[in-house]
Structure 1
């Protein structure tokens, strides 16, 4: 630091000081760093921010002890407060390298230093700080213990659970509320019994209800349901929101263990009339999240009264989708209210929403209503909506079964109606009529579908082409029809024909797909590449792969020269994965360095298919773990797993510190793929995590196939959620 810079830093002019810091190279000596640390008390917030940024890049061994000294507020003047807050900000930015010194600061003789150290460790959110923080729960000062509890809430660790539950039984009353919240944030099932016990005290009920929702343990549902009947409106609000939060968590858990959730039945059996009225009242609240939660619970109730109340909110765009889902959840009890609402409204959009509900409810009652509405209306939008609804798989099955049992009343009605709509002047109605006819009659409708490919309107032709795909196996002559459609004037037809042709095994389809790689329309070219990829996935013979590779090389060279051609590059990446050769590998590596992150991601994912080239690819992929875009880092981690890159285990483990949750999920799955047996304890820990549990489960499932004894050793885990997931994974449930 030159004398000139030093004087600039001492200048009374804010801009001069700021410019000197911005232009300053990262200081390396103790004196230079100390000078900048003293500037953390600068009266200009812009200067303080600039100093924080540059100090965070300096030698940790020098700067961290200096910053920790600054944690002592001393004289509570404005300058000292600035100094203190800026030091905290800088330590937080430094992150994990500061943890050793911060944990030592937890034993400082001054309580303000201990409090600040706990706050910073919480902000850093790293599990390495847990042991020291847990030890500090025994600090003699209640304010320090409070700060430690809040810090532990930000670091989800199973280690913290038992020490925190001890506070609920032994510590200061003032400390119990933040402890309850902390246990909710950590989300460990072991806290549930302790929370339900303290919920008996009215002072803690609302906080407990919120925590139980965050934990997602089904054992907490009775406590939350009781809170729904509370005389305190705020407690009832918290209970509604908590049940919705818990439902999301339980749905995910039950999807993993493949068991139907029981919480809806439990709620339905416990739902009283007063509780129902409370929920209906919440529909008029201003808080949209509360309204959405109340709507969901009204759906669980299964009550007809709830359906009538929900229908009043159907016109509200913010909640209409949730209302439809709730009405479907109510089931048959919603059909009469839906029918009444349909008869009473003149609003076409609302009628269409009601038709959507009936489609999802399916069953004979819904079918009867839809057929009646179809016969009674001449409004084209309603006809189109009802035709779409009747193409629902359940209704098609009902019609087919009715056809087999004369006099077939429903089949007869619909056959007569649809014959009329096949000749409609409205193209969308013709298209839906053709779709229904194709689904209902199958191969019997093939001639009609072939005629529909010549319809004047492209929407009708596209619908017919999509339906023809199911008949390829038994009707090889369809390939020629589709090849002819590749010359259609409309790009949507050429696009759909190319996509559909990819699903045939007929060799005549391949040269036709290669030919339209030169189509003038970019969406058609992408469809051609997609079709080629699909064809190669079913027909991986060498001649096809060689010719496709040559043409795709030309596409990349001559058709992908603009940034806008990124979509074509992405589709090319997806197709190149079916051509496993040195040349295709080189093309994908080249695409992995593209300026467009979506192209890089797609190329890297495609390289996961090149297992035979793993030795040469692992080194190429390693730098992409530091890519600026999270999706590229995720793709790299996933691909390293697909390539069985065991030598990259330590690098992959470090990626658990990546700021993006999607990357962390990929890491947990990849640890299983590379059979990282030493990572089993880490994966077990993440089974208790709220967001990463399924990824940890997937990783452990793959490890259990090769190291069953090592995984089985944890099958008696004390955490009920971990116990459930592990025993399901091991086939012991």
Structure 2
């Protein structure tokens, strides 16, 4: 049981005295040289009773000054933070932590900076002056965390306002952002400097100052007035910041003033200003009806983001907003999809208006109405019939919208299958491609799907052919009769179609054996992507793809890393003997790319017990430091069986390799062979003089293990 578990158990049984004694022991353990003991002790103190944590504070402070282990430090910081103002004696140690770079991962260091600053913030006012002294630190992360701490301290950090105000012009975005929040959180003491900064000639300073005013927990009327003034600033970034401040200060801003500021900004040319105004209305929905005309005008404004938000806001006005949304569709600049979403948001009350809009002479109106009807949940009565009718619309955009809406309905669109099938012969390739997709969504178990997709495999449009092959793959065994057409598509002029055909064939495994010749030809494609797909597909066909062995092996010479990787993997899927594969795979095990080497090693492992035959090639990978862990794991798997006896001469030859890691692995394997490796003894004896100490030690041990035991009584 760990220290922490013991303490919890004692507390649960009411043994506070015993728990305190255990915690006293944990404080002693904080000084242990054993890092695991220190970690356990720090965690135990962190989760112990508050009185015990206060008593442990001197020990925690000592750890903050000297501890190098990140886990210990983080537990100590948590314990100190939990004490709040009672941890005031730790201020100097926490400042030391922020000033000291303890090394390790950058993320861990930043994490400690943050946690140290949190602890100082929890202490509060006693930490303010020491924190002010840290604002000149070289590391940006430290300065940013210090600024953050002032904001968490709040009004008690008033003395830091003169230090924080200039940071509104800091070149670091992070520090500027933290300064804005902290000055706002400090409250009254920061109001006058912030109001003054709202008139600064630097737009970034004005922007930060007015946004900081919005963070005030008790808004000052002067702050509200300053934000309203800046809402008409000439700089868009200042204006947007002022609108965000007014949004945060909503309860303190008179309705008429807020409406005027948001309305005027809705007409501003800058998108950021428009979006800030839209966000303001989101927080004050009561203003929406009074701004309906401006919002409607935004539906045709440049920039889809603003129009989309305007459509959303209009949609929040209720069913009466439908005419405005539909009216905007007459303008070609309005976002059809965004308006359709807003219409759908209105719910069932808008169904009559949408049903009428489906018969509009304007295609954009019909398209939005169709999309909205398809998105309404629960589905409106008669919606499928209306969407089916839309499939026959003379405008391709309306037909496409109807298809998309039906596709979103899944099997509920089954009644529209005849009309969807008719679109497989539409003039528009986009419609035909979408029809293939929707058929798969609407009728996943329809027995006619295979026929539909088989016909589409020969469509003149590549996108249709590709999607047909993709959906045929999803039919499983029902799509098996598409194997011959798919083989033919391996020579399609479109690369995406050929890729889809290869993927389809791979999904049928050995049943697609007749595709081996065509896939072998595809290995010679000048496109690496197709080479990869052909190799991967052959690997899925298993032993039926063995005739492609030489072509796959030749791919190991490809300049493409991806092609070499695929070839190395495929060699393990052809169910060949290790003797046949090893000469080719040996090259991949020495490939210049670690990706290829690792793929080759995984292939070796697929040979099971026969993997030992590859050992002389595998241990050469140990030359690369990054490969050694994987090589050592594989060699460990061979310990039970030992090396293949046929490889002993090669392993003996590896004893002369330049790299000690290779020599050590060769020694290990030969030692596992025992007396069977006696022919390697002369080479092992020579290694007793090797310049590497570990090699010398292991060579001696191997010699002792390999030498045959002397008969009893023989000296």
TM score, norm. by length of structure 1:
0.45
Structure number, greater radius of gyration: 2
Higher relative contact order (CA 8 A, sep 6+): 1
